[in-house]
Amino acid sequence: MPDRDVLGVVSGGVLLALVLTRLLHAPVRPFFQVSVLGSPVRLFITGGFLTTLIVLGLTITGMYVLLRTHPLIRKGEVEPHLMSWILPALFNVAMLNWLSRMPTVIEWTAVFLLAIPGITFAFVVAYASLDSVSRQLGFWQRAQMTIIWLSAIILFTVIYDTRWRSLLSATAVFVVGTLLAARFFWIYRWRLADVFAYGLVVGSGLGQLTWALNYWRLSALKGGMVLMLVFYVATGLIQHSFREQLGSGEYGRSLLLEYGSVTIVGLLLIKFFVP
């Protein structure tokens, strides 16, 4: 477990930044404009963009300080790993964007109270997963998956809700999907090259799907849930394929049937029950 004092300072810094985003508002300023395929694409510097940079900076810096207290790093057996930053960075950005969409003080406070243990837990999980043995233990494995899935559903929903042009929204989903998928595969001690190669496959598919979904009139939650469902199925199939279970006769067919059923049931639930 990480040093409690360091963990408290790191988590407290991020939580303080989340509070400040509720109190401070920055003017919208044009930043960049370019014409792509005959359509103008404009980027603006907003308060949300600036606070995202602040939260990312605090998370990356805080995670580095936290990792320096890890026994394996102190002994020189391992070095801080790129994958150690993905989990807390994307989860904290997800919480920031979720909070920014709360219209009332009561709703904002309720989400913030959930963010307090959530952000702390994300740091703890990232710290523990530096050890390849701990990373594959049942509890820590499920904890990593939970944070990955929560980050995915929140970020996919937020990105789809922005109604950006497809070039921007598909690119954002591609980046988020690639990083989260790579982090998911890293749980199983794959080589880093394989982790990012398969992560790019998942991210590319999600980016293309986002481009198609932008032509439909789906609610933000429906769009986010569809992307999350595809992310879940794609990462699951690739994981089993890498372990050569999809080609192992009857078990492989049962896996395909399982994920096919999950896809069909999931799409039906999204269509009829998700607002």
Sequential pLDDT tens for the chain (275 residues): 677 888 999 999 999 999 988 887 666 565 555 555 555 556 666 777 788 889 999 999 999 999 988 888 888 877 777 888 999 999 999 999 999 889 899 999 999 999 999 999 999 999 988 877 777 677 888 999 999 999 999 999 999 998 777 788 999 999 999 999 999 999 886 788 889 999 999 999 999 999 999 888 889 999 999 999 999 999 999 888 776 655 555 666 788 888 899 999 999 999 998 88
pLDDT score of 48: 74
Same domain membership, residue 14 and residue 122: yes
In DSSP terms, 42 is beta-bridged to 33
Q: How many domains does the chain have?
A: 2
pLDDT score of 141: 87
Same domain membership, residue 80 and residue 30: yes
pLDDT score of 35: 57
> CA 210: distance to chain centroid?
16
| Domain final residue, candidates 106, 130, 154 | 130
| Domain final residue, candidates 109, 130, 151 | 130
Same domain membership, residue 27 and residue 1: yes
Measured CA to CA, the distance from residue 118 to residue 157 in angstroms comes to 19
pLDDT score of 240: 80
Same domain membership, residue 9 and residue 70: yes
Same domain membership, residue 139 and residue 274: yes
Same domain membership, residue 161 and residue 86: no
Q: In sequence order, what DSSP letters do the residues of 244-267 get, joined into one string? A: T-TTSTHHHHHHHHHHHHHHHHHH
| Domain final residue, candidates 101, 130, 159 | 130
Same domain membership, residue 91 and residue 150: no
Structure tokens at 248: 């192992």
Same domain membership, residue 266 and residue 162: yes
3-class state of residue 37 by DSSP: coil
Q: What is the DSSP letter of 137?
A: S
In sequence order, which ranges of 24-164 are alpha helices (DSSP H)? 47-67, 71-74, 83-100, 105-128, 132-135, 138-161
Instruction: Tally Cβ neighbours within 10 Å of residue 221.
Output: 16
Same domain membership, residue 207 and residue 126: no
Same domain membership, residue 98 and residue 28: yes
Instruction: Tally Cβ neighbours within 10 Å of residue 36.
Output: 10
Range of the domain at 179: 132-275
pLDDT score of 75: 84
Query: What is the pTM assigned to this prediction?
Result: 0.89
Same domain membership, residue 137 and residue 111: no
Q: Are 170 and 223 contacting, i.e. CB atoms less than 8 angstroms apart?
A: no
Same domain membership, residue 153 and residue 123: no
In DSSP terms, 34 is beta-bridged to 41
pLDDT score of 40: 59
pLDDT score of 223: 94
